[in-house]
Amino acid sequence: MDIPLVDLRLQHEEIAEEVKRGFDAVFERTAFVLGPAVEDFERAFAKYSDTRHCIGVGSGTDAIEMILRAEGIGPDDEVIVPANTFIATALAVTRVGATPVFVDCDADYYLIDVAKTKEAINKRTRGILAVDLYGQIAPFEKLEDLARGRGITVMEDAAQSHGARRNGCRAGGFGVAAAMSFYPGKNLGAYGDGGAVLCNDDAFDQRVRELRNWGGTVKYEHPVVGFNSRLDTLQAVVLRAKLDRLEDWNEQRREAAARYDELLAGASDVVLPKVAPGNEAVWHLYVVRVPERDRVLAQLHEQGIGAGIHYPTPCHLQGAYASMGLGEGSFPVAEKAAREILSLPLFPGITADQQEKVAEVLLRAI
């Protein structure tokens, strides 16, 4: 693609020297699992996210699973999740033996619908796992209101919102704990898989530290059944170097989003993304809605523009959840969005020329 959806090369060029030095220090110390590089990143990322604790784990998916496990959520429990998210949100719930209960999203921001969430609550509901989709934070204060006094835990899937704020509070600080993903294309991305749990409670922190390390933090003592899922030490070096640039990179994303807003303003067939009141988005993705999306997308690809779809099939229509019997029509807002949405190339370092070209090809295709 002439203009990729995400260009990670630009980020690498900025940090290449620092990463080399950091890798050399790890090789020198031969501390290949956890060690000072992971601790240093955990400290810095907790500070950045305004949380008391950060626990580096193997992936965002594992981070969600560990939060659920640390909360004691398992078989017989229901956890409410949005139907329009990356499948990992729901899979983590299924993997702990609980049942994901899908709910629709709102039509403006694609975030979990609060009224539908309320309707889905019943005696078995143990959790609400909301997703900060595309880089803006879900309406947690309203979800907390629903959960209060009912034994329901609110949790944040912050895999797409590193650095975002809602009413002044940073992503990662909502609910009992937040899961972060450092999958390469994320706003803060590693050079492979990686993730983190962010939380404020000391006992919760300790439980997740045990879970990530075969169920114990003291060598050969395993009080619980855990995972082997620590943040890789070399990935921590990459993430530490990138973290220093995250504010700047998020600002570049905001500028690029504003430029698309201008370039596409007035095009009656294009529905532009909106930011919910109180939210400061970090534009993990810039998602528009267009008529005849598949034809438009094909035309963009033909012209060398790496647009994408996030996500073409809502969770309830995936084969993995076919046994739930939730067919087409179950969640009309999410399903309609899935047919119309289109993610345009957006990354730190995208140029005005590149964006003008994207807008021109898009408007011509429409």
Ligand X SMILES: Cc1ncc(COP(=O)(O)O)c(C=O)c1O
Of these, 159, 177, 241, 282, which contacts ligand X (CB under 6 A)? 159
The distance in angstroms from the start CA to the end CA of the chain is: 20
Does residue number 113 form part of the binding site for ligand X (CB under 6 A)?
A: no
Identify which range of 85-93, 228-236, 252-260, 285-293 contacts ligand X by CB under 6 A.
85-93
Select from 84-92, 215-223, 257-265, 357-365 the region that touches ligand X (CB under 6 A).
84-92
Residue 11 in the binding site for ligand X (CB under 6 A): no
86 lies in the binding site for ligand X (CB under 6 A): yes
Shorter beta-carbon distance to ligand X: residue 159 or 337: 159
Nearest CB to ligand X, comparing residues 49 and 160? 160
- Taking residues 117 to 136 in sequence order and writing x for each that binds ligand X by CB under 6 A, - otherwise, the string is --------------x-----
Token digits of residue 310: 């996030």
Contacting range for ligand X; rule: CB under 6 A; set: 5-13, 152-160, 223-231, 315-323: 152-160
Contact status: 157 vs ligand X (CB under 6 A): yes
Contact 180, 159 (CB under 8 A): yes
CB of 319 to ligand X, least distance (A): 18
**Closer CB to ligand X, residue 60 or residue 173?**
60
Q: Which of residues 31-60 bind ligand X (CB under 6 A)?
A: 59-60
Q: How far is the CB of 331 from ligand X (least distance, A)?
A: 17
Least spacing, CB of residue 171 vs ligand X, in Å: 12
**Quick one: tokens of 343?**
């993610």
Cβ proximity of 33 and 231 under 8 Å = no
Q: Using the rule CB under 6 A, which residue among 183, 214, 283, 321 binds ligand X?
A: 183
181 belongs to the binding site for ligand X (CB under 6 A): yes
* Min CB(268)–ligand X separation in Å: 31
Q: Does 88 bind ligand X (CB under 6 A)?
A: yes
Query: What x-and-dash track marks residues 191-210 binding ligand X by CB under 6 A?
Result: --x-x---------------
Full strand arrangement of the beta sheet holding 177-181: 53-57, 195-199, 177-181, 153-157, 125-131, 78-82, 99-103
- Shortest Cβ 92–ligand X spacing (Å): 8
Cα–Cα distance, 21 to 41 (Å, whole number): 15
Nearer to ligand X, 102 or 361 (CB): 102
- Residue 343 binding ligand X, by CB under 6 A: no
Closer by beta carbon to ligand X, 114 or else 158 = 158
Minimal distance, residue 195 CB to ligand X, in Å: 5
Q: Closest distance between ligand X and the C-beta of residue 325, in Å?
A: 24
Interaction between residue 160 and ligand X (CB under 6 A): yes
Structure tokens at 121: 């609550």
Number of residues lying near ligand X (CB under 6 A): 15
SS3 of the chain: the string is CCECCCCHHHHHHHHHHHHHHHHHHHHHHCCCCCCHHHHHHHHHHHHHHCCCEEEEECCHHHHHHHHHHHCCCCCCCEEEEECCCCCHHHHHHHHCCCEEEEECECCCCCCECHHHHHHHCCCCEEEEEEECHHHCCCCHHHHHHHHCCCCCEEEEECCCCCCCEECCEECCCCCCEEEEECCCCCCCCCCCCCEEEEECCHHHHHHHHHHHECCCCCCCCCCCCCCECECCHHHHHHHHHHHHHHHHHHHHHHHHHHHHHHHHCCCCCCECCCCCCCEECCCCCEEEECCCHHHHHHHHHHCCECCECCCCCCHHHCHHHHHHCCCCCCCHHHHHHHHHEEEECCCCCCCHHHHHHHHHHHHHHC
Residues that bind ligand X (CB under 6 A): 59-61, 85-86, 88-89, 131, 157, 159-160, 181, 183, 193, 195
